[in-house]
Structure 1
Amino acid sequence: MVNPQTDEIRPISVSESPEDKFREFLEIRGEKLTDPRRVLVRHIYSTHKHFDADELVRDLHDSGRAISRSTVYRTLRLLVDAGLLRELRLTNRTAYEHDYGYPDHDHLHCTSCNKVVEFRNEEILKLRDAVSRANGFRASGHRFLIEGVCSSCSRSHSPRRRLDLI
């Protein structure tokens, strides 16, 4: 589900809202969907972006929502366990993204500016499935992360003098 105009991964249709799915997960564990947890789920799913816990705390604070840092960290862990968020372990931080309601996709990570680009490639999916079949394995997903330097950072750090090329 990639938009060819923007290369944006588009959400897929799901039967339950993330909030309902989270409530169900918590009920199975004997826990409740408290107001702070509800605010977090709604805030996280109001936009599709990669974020880390500190960014989320800052966004919540900037929008006038006072939720403790410990509640944010505990709820992020629960959202990952519930299959609503996916953790991306990047070079210098752990980022989160929507898992529920989004198709399998992979990532490019610029180690200079921390930019994360999503992409979907059918050849990678075919290779994953072929390798799995060859080894008697049934794949349920994969994580593929390419680290490097984006074109903007490459241009800004390109050598200016001939001696820099040596």
Structure 2
Amino acid sequence: MCKLPTNKIQEYIELLKIVKKRLESHNQILTINKSNILEILFENSEHLSAEDILKLSRTKHNNSLKVTTIYRTLNNFEAYGIVDSIIIDDKKRYELAYFKQPHYHLYCQSCHKINEFESLEIHNKFLENLKNIEFRPTNFNVIINGVCEKCQ
């Protein structure tokens, strides 16, 4: 189990319960490998690629997790609504879908950092406009490319 600050333990336990139920509904169980990947995503606020998760897993868990296992797990997690992904610079990056407010990704083209910008007002406006054109989204990601304050 991961070493979390006290204020994050309850959130992590809640996440595990949700993920276990979601996996069980697809006739899967929460294996050690899946748990390790979930833990890495929970502990990191960054948007991680499969390769990032592989490096962190080898450092943290000293295991022989294979990149194919990570890709398969992430694909399943995404299909089951456990993670969301975005593609930046032809690389797929993942973040947990739970406990997230509607947000937008601000991608710095100079330092390649991804920041998040939350706005329920913008989100509701998007949904309102989509309703006007009779389109029902199942998911959407907004990536705003530019240069961050630090790199300007």
TM-score (ref. length: structure 1)? 0.73
Residues 33-60 of structure 1: per-residue CA shift (max 9 Å, x gap) = 2221122212321332211111111111
Amino acid at match of 1:93: K
Aligned residue among 36, 39, 42 for 1:39: 36
Aligned residue among 53, 57, 61 for 1:56: 53
Q: Which runs of 5+ in 2 are unaligned?
A: 1-7
Aligned residue among 107, 110, 132 for 2:108: 110
Q: Which runs of 5+ in 1 are unaligned?
A: 1-10, 155-166
Match of 2:81 in 1: 83
Give how far 1:122 is off. 4.0
Residue 132 (structure 1) aligned with residue 135 (structure 2):
no
- Measure the CA separation in 1 of the matches of 2:32 and 2:138: 33
Aligned residue pairs, count: 142
- Measure the CA separation in 2 of the matches of 1:101 and 1:41: 14
Match of 2:140 in 1: 142
- Measure the CA separation in 2 of the matches of 1:31 and 1:98: 19
Amino acid at match of 2:23: L
Amino acid at match of 1:89: I
Largest Rg, 1 or 2: 1
- Measure the CA separation in 1 of the matches of 2:151 and 2:73: 34
Amino acid at match of 2:150: S
**Fraction of identical pairs, as percent:** 23
Kindly indicate whether the alpha-carbon contact (under 8 Å) linking 1:48 and 1:98 is maintained by their aligned counterparts in 2: no
Match of 1:151 in 2: 149
CA root-mean-square deviation: 2.4
